[in-house]
Structures are given as structure tokens and as C-alpha cells.
Amino acid sequence: MKISDIQSLDQFTCVQSEYADAEVSSGYTSDLLSDVMAHADEGSVLITIQAHKNTVAVSSLAGVVAIIICNNRPIADDVLEAAASEGIAIFQTAENQFQTSSLIAQHLAGCPAA
């Protein structure tokens, strides 16, 4: 699946759309940034409630291409700016991390082109 495929899903609102539409190869769900840093795959989507600049910094270093912020947690403008300059997409959703992970997993599995 591509980042734009996430954008097309009803559950997600794209709040930072300055991204190159890269392939999303896997997902990682965690609120601990050191854990994300250590284990998230290059080209993955990060599912988290951690909505601050360090999330963007870690994502950029780990090669995460998109971030989904769950439970409609507020996202400050400086976070969006940082993500825009790194070219990382950010989505917001009312769903929790479990629901979001399940949804993304289905779409990753249902897309044989990936």
C-alpha cells in the first residue's frame, strides 16, 4: 500500500500532506520512542499517541514514512512543520492504537502489490 491509500480511508484525516507518495511496507505500534528507534522498519507507518516533535525526529531517523496519531490526540503546529520539512505524512484518527493497527494490517495484507 501507498501513503495515499491511508489518506483514502475514512478513519484517517491527513493533517500533514507534504509527502512523496512512498510505498508503506509495514507498520509499527508504540509510544516509546526508543523502542520505535530500535525496531521500526524503514518504510513503515508509525501508530502512536505520542504527538510531539521527537516523534518526527525518531521517525525521520528510523525511516518511518507516515505517522498515525490515535485517539484524536492534539498535534501542535511545530510538529506538523517538522514533519513537512522531513516529508513525513501525519494522520489523525479517533480510533485507538489497537483498532488502527488492525485496520492497517488488513490493508497491508490485502495489497499483494506491496
Report the site for another protein in 18-77 (rule: CB under 8 A).
31-35, 37-38, 42, 50, 52-55, 57-58, 60-63
CB of 47 to another protein, least distance (A): 14
Q: Which is nearer to another protein, 34 or 112 (CB)?
A: 34
The count of residues interacting with another protein (CB under 8 A) is 19
- CA nearest 103: which of 12, 4, 2? 12
Three-class DSSP category at 29: strand
- Is residue 84 a contact residue for another protein (CB under 8 A)? no
Q: Which is nearer to another protein, 8 or 54 (CB)?
A: 54
* CB 69, CB 93: distance < 8 Å: yes
Specify burial of residue 98 (Cβ count, 10 A radius: 0-12, 13-18, 19+). exposed
d(Cα 33, Cα 41) in Å, to the nearest integer?
13
Q: Which is nearer to another protein, 61 or 109 (CB)?
A: 61
Q: Which residues pair with 107 in a beta bridge?
A: none
Q: Which is nearer to another protein, 23 or 42 (CB)?
A: 42
Query: What is the binding site for another protein (CB under 8 A)?
Result: 31-35, 37-38, 42, 50, 52-55, 57-58, 60-63
